[in-house]
Chain A
Amino acid sequence: MNSFKMFTELGFRHITDIHGYDHIIFLIALCGVYTFRDWKKLLAVVTIFTITHSLSLALAAFDVLRLKGDYIEFLIPVTILFTALFNVTKLGSNKAGNAKVAISGLFGLVHGFGFSGFYRMIMLDSKPWYTSYLPFNLGIEMGQLVIVLVILLISFTFQQIFKVTLKSWNIFIAGGVSFISITLILKNWPF
C-alpha cells in the first residue's frame, strides 16, 4: 500500500483500538446525551474536538509544546470523568446549550497531546510533515465518526426500542464511564 493509506489506517486503528479505549470512552461521555435528532449540535461538539485535538497534536508532534506523557495519561481520564459527571448536571444535560461544545474544545487539546505520543513514533523524520500528519488525522476522524455512529445507534436502540428514558440512559453512561475513568485516574496517578 502507499504511505498515505498506511498513515490513514494507523490513525483509524489508533482511535478504534479497543485496548486503548480511553478515547472511545471520552466519545461515549461526549455523545451520551445526544440522539440522531441532535445531529447538528453533535456535529458542532465533534468538530470542535477535532480542531483542538489536531492543534495540540501538531504542537506536540513538531516540538512546539511538549507535555510530560505521565501527566497527559492522567489528565485524559480526568477529562472523561468531568464530561461524564457534567452530563448529569442541569447545564450538561441541556442539549441546546453550548457548554458541551466548550468542554469538547478544551478537552480536545488534552486528547491531542495523547495522540502525539503514538504519532511521534510513526512519523518519518525524513519526509515532509504533511505526508503523515494529514492522513493520520484523517484516519482519526474516520474512526471517530464510526465510534460516534455506533454510540448513537446503541443509544437509539436503548431509548427507542427498550424504552429506556433519556434520564436513565444519562445516569447509566455517567456511572459506567465515571467508574472506568476513576480506575484509570488511580492507575495513572503521577504525583
Chain B
Amino acid sequence: MRLIKICLLVIGIGAFGLHEYYISIFRLTFNRTEKQIQGELKVFTDDLELLLKTNGHGALALDENTLKAEIESGLSVELPKYVKYYDIKKRPKEISLVGFENEGDLTWIYFTIDNVKSIKEPTMEINWMVDLYSDQVNIVHFFDGIDELSEFFSRSKSRIQFIFSE
C-alpha cells in the first residue's frame, strides 16, 4: 500500500514538465585608461525577443539584419531600465548601448558605462528578465583589471555591492 502511494507521488512528479533554465551572463571589464566599464551581456535569443515584444517593441527577430535599428532602439530603452550601476557614493551612472550580435540561440549585447574613475565598492542593481521569469538568474563577472568577482542576481537578491581590494 505504502509503495502504491509513493508510486502515485512519482507519477505526480512526472505530470510536471521539465522547465527551461532562465539565465543571463554579464561580463564587465573596467578600463582604467579610458575610465570606462565595458560590458557584454549574453542572453538566450528567444528570451530577448520575448522581452522586447512584451515591453512593446514589437515582434522583432534578432537574426533579421533589416531590423537592426529597431532592435537597438528597443535595447537602448530596456537595458538601462533593468541594469543599474551606482558608484561608491551611490550616484547612478549612465548605461549606453554599443550594439548587439546574434549567433543562433545566443545573443550578445554590448554596452559601456562612462566616466568611471574608480570601481571601488560599486553597487549594481539588476532585474533583467525577472518580470518574465520569476526564477531568472543573472550572473555578473566583474573584472577590475586585476581581480574578478562573480555574483548571482535574482528577483530576491537584485542589488549587490562589489568590494574590490584595489
Contacts and interface: CB of A to CB of B under 8 A. Distances in A.
Interface of A: 1-3, 5-6, 9-10, 14, 17, 19-22, 69, 118, 120-122, 124, 126, 162, 164, 168, 172, 175-177, 179-180, 183-184, 187
B7 interface: yes
A21 B14 CA distance: 9
Smallest CB-CB A-B distances: 9 pairs: A176-B10, A180-B14, A6-B150, A3-B150, A19-B19, A183-B14, A179-B14, A179-B11, A3-B148
Interface in B42-80: 42, 44
Contacts of A126: 27
A42 to B, nearest CB: 21
A22 to B, nearest CB: 6
Given A14-B21, A21-B18, A184-B18, A121 B42 contact: yes
Contacts of A10: 139
Interface residues of B, number: 28
A151 B151 CA distance: 31
A9 B149 CA distance: 14
B2 interface: yes
Contacts of A184: 14, 18
B106 interface: yes
Contacts, number: 71
B146 interface: no
Most buried by A among B6, B10, B18, B148: B18
B145 interface: no
Contact of A2 (B23, B27, B135, B148): B148
Interface string B1-21: 011001100110111011101
A179 B10 contact: yes
Interface string B132-158: 000100010100000011111000000
Interface in B85-140: 105-106, 135, 139
A6 B142 CA distance: 12
A62 to B, nearest CB: 15
B10 A121 contact: no
A168 B139 CA distance: 45
B132 to A, nearest CB: 16
6 contacts: A1-B150, A3-B148, A6-B141, A6-B150, A172-B3, A176-B7
Given A6-B139, A122-B139, 13 more contacts: A1-B150, A1-B151, A2-B148, A9-B152, A14-B21, A69-B105, A121-B25, A122-B25, A124-B25, A164-B3, A172-B3, A175-B7, A177-B10
B23 A121 contact: yes
Given A3-B148, A124-B27, A176 B17 contact: no
A116 to B, nearest CB: 12
Given A168-B3, A179-B14, A180-B14, A17 B21 contact: yes
A181 to B, nearest CB: 8
A120 B150 contact: no
B6 to A, nearest CB: 7
Interface in B17-35: 17-19, 21, 23, 25, 27
